[in-house]
Structure 1
Amino acid sequence: MLRPLFAALAMLVTAGCAGAGDEGGGESGTGGTGPITFVTGRDTTAYLQPLLDRWNQAHPAEKVTLLELPEAADEQRAQMVANLQAQSNRYDVLGLDVVWTAEFAENGWIIPLARGSFPLDRFLPPVVETAVYKGKLWAVPYTSNAGLLYYRTDLVKKPPRTWAELRDQSRQIRKKHNIEGYSGQFLAYEGLTVNYSEAVQSAGGEIVSRDGTEVRLDPAKGGVALSFLLQGLREGWIPKQSLSYKEEESRLAFQEGRLAFARNWPHGYGPARAELGDKLGVTRLPGLDGPGSSTLGGANLAISAYSKHQQTAQEFIRYFTSLENERRVLTEGSFPPVWTELYDDPALIKRFPYLPVLKESILAARPRPVTANYNQLSLVIASSVAKALNNPSPESADDVAASMKSELEEIIRTQ
């Protein structure tokens, strides 16, 4: 995204690494220059390659190659873990989901970085915390994320603030216009964990403590969150086909006019705006009694412990997360940047009217637990909720939540 870095950048990076070890959490093995591979999830908006081309034009001896993994976070993680467990040096810079920091750090797959080498004080504070584990910086925030409610302004006079309003409006629109009501990401994968976590938070609850050491799921509040989804499926204002939706499926269903409301990340705004124009509206997620709480998402950039060109990898991360490139992350990729000042830029707000709402949502979002066992916790949540949504049984929503709590406690006890 940014203009080419000056040659002096390498000197600054090296100097920053040499003097900020203990202060920033320490760093290791940042030597080595040469070609690198940047591995990340599939670029569905085709904005990445031009940014890499800018780097490559300025660094012919340190070119970066993009390696795209599947769109789903679960599949990305599986491929990265397989590579790192084999101690392969094929990957240099890793595009990590914010929930993977603890696991990758705990297993020694990524190296710690010096805080002083990056302008973290100009980033959104909650976003920086996603890159920190046990007091050390293990990655650099690249994009942030918070779930938003997309809606059709030609069908909705005032966007819903509560689940009850969402239900009523969805039912009315479905009856009057023959358009489905609401969907999120309800396939059994990380997206369902996020959607259910947001529902629990929006009902005033919490699933697991921030440090991942305590299960705090109140079966009653967990049951209320599950009942919200079950009621929508039962009454038809959440379409049955949404049980197979990930981010892209729900985005396409909304922008193609098959849904009046959709929960999704901000990257869907650009394509939806191009398709719907002024018919597109964005607001905060609704909750039980008022605006809801999103799960904090996003991606961080880390350096593989097995990379042979770690100095180049760090220079590339500095380039890729600089202010100019972060502006392009938003304008060309429709992804939320991590620099706070970009959310207050009048020109950007004019082009992306949802920025003030997004900033508010990010600052109010809840991070997922920081634990090396996060993947196991997420699998339990997603599978329990998916089973309830796909196979309604006499078991109450409260009972499902109670059973889920027991399984989560077992994981934490054995970690």
Structure 2
Amino acid sequence: MESVQRILRPHRLHGTNTPRRSTVRLLRSLAALPLLAVLASACDSPTGTGPVTLNWYNFPDDSGALATAAGNCTKASGGRYRVAYNKLPRTADGQRQQLVRRLAARDSTVDILGLDVTWPAEFAEAKWILPWRGANLRRARQDTLEVPLETASWKGRLYAVPYNTNTQLLWYRDDIVPTPPTTWAEMLDMARALAERGKPHYVEIQGAQYEGLTVWFNSLVESAGGSILNARATAPSLGPPAVRAATIMRDLATSPAADPSLSNQMEDQNRLAMESGTAAFEVNYPFVYPSMKANNPKLFKNFRWTSYPRVQAGRPAKPTIGGIDLAVGAYSRHADLAFEAALCLRNRQNQMTAALQGGLPPTLRSLYSDPALVKDYPFAAQVLAALESASIRPKTPAYQNVSIAISHTLSPPSGIEPRSDVERIGSQIQDALESKGLIP
């Protein structure tokens, strides 16, 4: 690119040059413009020649599944493009911060973005990502589960394609819990009975002051028939379902079912506690299954799973889903190729690899009946059932502030005052929707 920089230096058309020499130099510079265009376009690849480079920014993956997908799609392009997998920071806040900074600066090298399922609304409203249209839209919707698609939509348009999803199940030990509970109340009663008998009895759940606490609250509110925001996401909804949700959280945290470390626990601490043998129940994601198999084979023999607990009998549980959606950057120089590559990155082959190597549940419905997946995912049917009745987190560009209002107010869970705390959350959410108060 040094030669390109030399060509771009302004030519002196006035000064000590004679008129004739100035004309000659001007003609030479004009003749060089086609070469400049070729050299500039060649800057997409490190060598200055070859296929276009599409930069894919996504979470850091230690399993190798994302790198494999990038290689598969590079090969499938037939030499038209190369997918470069760029690892974002490990924390969700760090990932969002880096993407926001790049897009706010109109970075044209951001082609494909791996967005947490809570970000598409914010990025779409800021016009940082492009909507899906035509054949790409039809392909994005084909065989894709509806609830993950909902996370990638904003104001009636699809802004991303679901790459993977995630949902929680209730995991338990069948040596001490022969019949699993179906409701939160039943589970707390079982935990009390186990405690009285001197048996492992904790219910491992995410109680730290972070996003996991918001997810727990949202799952309970939705399972109680309510929602955190109204249908248009213009005001808080909450009401009696939210009070009931907060009451369940407080009741668990003040019962024998509560791990002493509840207020500091996240998903991985829950996993470790269950593997140590001190817990009877665990509300967590499927990654705990292979971990238990590897770390405690003896306990693994009694490690079972069932549906997320209901708030009340007769009303389905609505666990909150997670996952990553793939979007195309609004400033990409190769948007058409980026849409094509994004579809490739989440195709059947690559989703299967992500599920088997990375433990990431697919978003393609047909994969849940594939024998290759079911062999390593014996709980595939329960995951699919959960996804079909699942809930999503409040869909709003102000989600970061909404989440902070919830997790800060409800921490620690043992100190929750259901009615007054729900009123406080509602007031803070209203401020967040009006761009007042909290800053993410």
TM-score, normalisation: structure 2: 0.78
Aligned to 1:48: 66
In structure 1, the gaps of 5 or more residues are 1-31
State the distance in 2 between where 1:303 and 1:385 align: 36
What's the RMSD between the two structures over aligned residues?
2.6
Match of 1:170 in 2: 191
Corresponding residue for residue 383 of structure 1: 408
In the alignment, the residues of structure 1 paired with residue 231 and residue 94 of structure 2 have an alpha-carbon distance, to the nearest angstrom, of: 24
Q: What SS class does the counterpart of residue 326 from structure 2 fall into?
A: strand
In structure 1, the residue matched to 2:349 is: 324
Partner deviation per Cα, 1:65-100 (whole Å, 9 max, x = no partner): 333334443332223222222223453321111221
What is the match of residue 290 of structure 2? Answer: 270
- Using the TM superposition, give the Cα deviation of residue 258 of structure 1 relative to its aligned residue in structure 2, in angstroms: 4.0
Q: Describe the superposition over 1:384-411 as per-residue Cα deviations: whole angstroms up to 9, x where unpaired.
A: 112x526x27xx3211111211222233
1:306 equivalent to 2:331? Answer yes
Alpha-carbon contact 1:193-1:382 (below 8 Å) kept: yes
Cα shift at 1:44: 5.3
Q: Which residue does the alignment assign to 1:69?
A: 88
SS at match of 1:63: strand
Q: Deviations over 1:288-314 (max 9, x none)?
A: 223522113221101122333434432
CA distance in 1 between partners of 2:272 and 2:334 (Å) = 39
Question: What do residues 209-236 of structure 1 show as CA deviations (whole Å, max 9, x unaligned)?
Answer: 3431232101x43232222222222224
Change (3 A) 1:102 1:187: same
- Three-state SS of the structure 2 residue aligned to 1:122 is coil
- 1:102 corresponds to which residue? 121
Say whether 1:79 aligns with 2:89. Answer: no
Q: CA deviation at 1:284?
A: 1.4
Measure how far apart 1:177 and its partner are: 5.8
Distance in 2, Cα, partners of 1:63 & 1:105? 26
**Contact in 1 for aligned 2:109/2:333 (Cα 8 Å):** no
Distance, in Å, in 2 between the alignment partners of 1:71 and 1:242 is: 23
Q: Which moved more, 1:93-102 or 1:74-83?
A: 74-83
TM-superposed deviation, 1:167: 1.1
Q: Which amino acid aligns with 2:135?
A: G
Provide the C-alpha distance between the structure 2 equivalents of 1:177 and 1:115, rounded to a whole number of angstroms: 62
Structure 2: distance between partners of 1:408 and 1:319: 38
Deviates more, 1:343-352 or 1:120-129: 343-352
The equivalences for 1:172-251 within 5 A come to 172-174=193-195, 176=197, 179=200, 181-218=202-239, 220-251=240-271
C-alpha separation between the residues in 2 aligned to 1:67 and 1:302? 15
Residue 303 of structure 2 is matched in structure 1 by 280
Q: Aligned AA for 2:277?
A: G
Question: Which amino acid in the other structure matches residue 76 of structure 1?
Answer: Q
Deviates more, 1:205-214 or 1:328-337: 205-214
Unaligned runs of 5+ in 2: 1-43, 45-50
2:168 maps to a residue whose letter is G
Whichever of the two has the greater Rg, that structure is 2
Q: Is the 8 A contact 1:211 1:370 kept in 2?
A: no
- Residue by residue over 1:1-20, the C-alpha shift from the partner in whole angstroms, topping out at 9 and shown as x without a partner, is xxxxxxxxxxxxxxxxxxxx
Name the stretch that deviates more: 247-256 or 233-242.
247-256
Structure scoring higher RCO (CA < 8 A, sep ≥ 6) equals 1
8 Å Cα contact 1:224-1:398 kept in structure 2: no
Cα–Cα, structure 1 residues 134 and 202, in superposed 2: closer, same or farther, change >3 Å?
closer
User: What's the secondary structure of 2:410's corresponding residue?
Assistant: helix
Give the whole-Å Cα distance in 2 for the aligned partners of 1:67 and 1:259. Answer: 38
Contact 2:206 2:267 in 1 (8 A): yes
| Structure 1 residue 279 displacement after superposition | 2.4
Q: State the SS of the aligned residue for 1:214.
A: coil
Change (3 A) 1:260 1:309: farther
- Corresponding residue for residue 151 of structure 2: 130
For residue 234 of structure 1, what is the amino acid of its counterpart?
A: T
For 2:377, the equivalent position in structure 1 comes to: 352
Pick one of 263, 276, 289 that aligns with 2:312. Answer: 289
* Overall identity of the aligned pairs, in %: 31
Contact 1:109 1:306 in 2 (8 A): yes
Task: Please give the per-residue CA displacement for 1:228-257, whole angstroms capped at 9, x wherever unaligned.
Answer: 222222224221323222333323333443
Say if 2:191 and 2:256, in contact at 8 Å, map to a contact too: no
2:135 partner SS? helix
